[in-house]
Amino acid sequence: MPEHPTRPFRLGVAGPVGTGKSTVLATLCRELSAELSMAVVTNDIYTDEDARLLRAAEVLPVERIKAVETGACPHTAIRDDITANLLAVEDLESTFAPLELVVVESGGDNLTATFSPGLVDAQIFCLDVAGGGDVARKGGPGIERADLLLINKTDLAPYVEVDVDRMVSDAVAVRDGFPVLALSRNDPASIVRLSDWVRQVVAGYRAGRHVAHDPGPMAPHTHAHP
């Protein structure tokens, strides 16, 4: 059982390019910043676009939004060498102490990119319907074992000929009990479900009940002894 934590809860949001990660961050800030003291870190690949998007959305005071450059290696910055992200998170934590929730957005990357357990306590993996209905079935560490999988932009499903229910049930089938959430920024009920999920993991963390687990880059496997 983990001890009662002394630092804020750190939540990662990863997933392929353009699936709506920054929008999810904006949504979480809008929904939760009145009840939780928050800050965010973005990892941009080529610009500070994401940080600017969030600053422009005016969902959080601009000083609480930090952009980290990743040298064209977004997956390295969240997994193999998390130094730049840790420095940014720690700076925010000391400047705005006591923070309660820090959200780190990964630069858009491929399906195998997941956060190091050294950087975040839990992670959301974000897919969208526009990437194709079969992506969830393809699996991968984030899809299969992130703490929460989002199937985002469900409002677009009719235009891209994707059956959301089918995509969600494909995801449920590969996730071995981990939750899946269909989300759209135009669907208030889905936003409530997302916010509630975050509230619940933050509360669990504070109570010392949260058990961090690593989706890993590899599927967990066992070797049968002959």
Partner 1 sequence: MPAELGALLLADGRLPTGGHAHSGGLEPALAAGAGPDDVPRYLEARLRTVGLVEATAAVLTLRRCRTAGADVDEVQVALRARMPSAPARTASELLGRGLARLARRLWPEHPAVAALDSLGAPPLRPVALGVVGAAVGMSDAQVARASLYDDAQTVAAAALKLLPVDPTDATRWLLDAGPTLEEIVARALTCTGPDTMPATTAPLVEQYSLDHASRSRRIFVA
Pick out the residues of the known binding site for GTP: 15-22
Q: Does 100 bind ligand GTP (CB under 6 A)?
A: no
76-115 mask for partner 1 (x: CB under 8 A)? Answer: xx--xxxxx-xx----------------------------
Straight-line distance from the first to the last Cα atom of the chain, in angstroms, rounded to the nearest whole number: 34
CB neighbour list of residue 219: distance below 8 Å, 6 or more residues apart: 141, 144
Tokens 């939750």 locate to 179
Q: Does 23 bind ligand GTP (CB under 6 A)?
A: yes
By a kind-dependent CB cut-off of 5 to 8 A, residue 103 interacts, out of ligand GTP, partner 1, Mg ion, none, with: none
* β-bridge mates for residue 83, sequence order: none
Closest to partner 1 by CB, 37 vs 76, is 76
* β-bridge mates for residue 12, sequence order: 104, 123
How far is residue 190 CA from its own chain's centroid?
16
How many residues bind partner 1, per CB under 8 A?
A: 19
Q: How far apart are CA 84 and CA 75, in angstroms?
A: 12
Q: Which of 36, 53, 57, 73 binds partner 1 (CB under 8 A)?
A: 73
Tokens 């995509």 locate to 167
126-165 mask for ligand GTP (x: CB under 6 A)? Answer: --------------------------xx-xx---------
State in angstroms the smallest separation of the CB of 25 from Mg ion. 8
* β-bridge mates for residue 30, sequence order: none
